[in-house]
Amino acid sequence: MKIGIVNDLPLAVEALRRALAARHDYEVLWVAQDGQQAVDFCTAQRPDIVLMDLVMPNVDGIEATRRIMAKAPCAILIVTVDVGANAWRVYEAMGAGALDAVDTPSLSGPDANKSIATLIAKIDRIAALVTERNAPGAAAPRSATNRDTPLVAIGASAGGPAALATLLAGLPKDFPAAIVIVQHVDAAFAAGMADWLNQQSALPVRIASEDDRPQAGVVLLAATDDHLHLKLPNVLGYTNVPAETPYRPSVDVFFHSVVARWPARAIGVLLTGMGRDGAIGLKAMRTKGYHTIAQDEATCAVYGMPKAAAALDAAAAILPLPRIAAALATAIGTR
């Protein structure tokens, strides 16, 4: 795996080099000292993954992520000192297309080995996503008459936080459907992301807990690395099955549970993201007769998951992001 390092601090670069040296299948392709240099290097020699610092002079990690995803898209892992203290910057970077975030590893001290192992685990997880992304690769919706609360099931990955903020900001405070979101995000960031989305939305947003029940006008966000699913009709739970999937939490797992157990109307929405997670589940939702929507290529930070859904004819509607909220309001019947 070819890796690009973006960091202006020599000590941090050295720590990353030492951490990566333990793996013979990792190759440091280049080191950039600021965001603009990273964009140039990605354009000239695109790596499999970029380890991106957040705070740098000139062009910071957020803007560099945005420019790389526009000019030379590749997998980006935020690696910065004290991710927790930079949570808001992390969410912005993930909204621009970064996949995950981790603290810069230590060169010495009692936590050095643990921090290196955490970094390597994050890289391996993203490597699995990249491998699946590069691997080779319907019934019409029906109107439902069930009067129970309808459900909007949303899946997102790279670029998802910003897309979710846009979508939720477009929904009215009296939106009469339950909303459940599965965003590929580390459990450490889920609660903070829910708080951040809550500030963008007229609807309350919070993390989904075991045994939660979706309810009209409330947005629930998957909160752990385990998969959120409907374990009973109208009752949410978490499961580690399937354990082998690189997508955690998995959109497909949740969409399939909706098909199997949700007792009322449902709408499936697949937003920006790398890979193919959610495409098969969205197809299953459409086949059952649920309305399905995928984000269009022009407005995606990463056109992977919606592209896979389009290839399967899983989406009854393919829409630009700014139109999805209005389409949901129409489909649910808030006219």
Task: Kindly list the catalytic residues.
Answer: 157, 184, 277
Starting at the edge strand found earlier in the chain, the sheet holding 205-207 runs 205-207, 219-221, 178-183, 151-156, 266-270, 291-295, 317-319
Alpha-carbon distance 96 to 110, whole Å?
34
Tell me the torsion sign for CA atoms 152, 158, 163, 164.
Answer: positive
**Which residue shows structure tokens 């000019």?**
71
* Inter-residue contact 250 to 238 (CB < 8 Å): no
**Cα dist. 113→15, 52, 74, 127 in Å?**
11, 21, 28, 21
Alpha-carbon distance 295 to 93, whole Å?
20
Give 304's DSSP letter: S
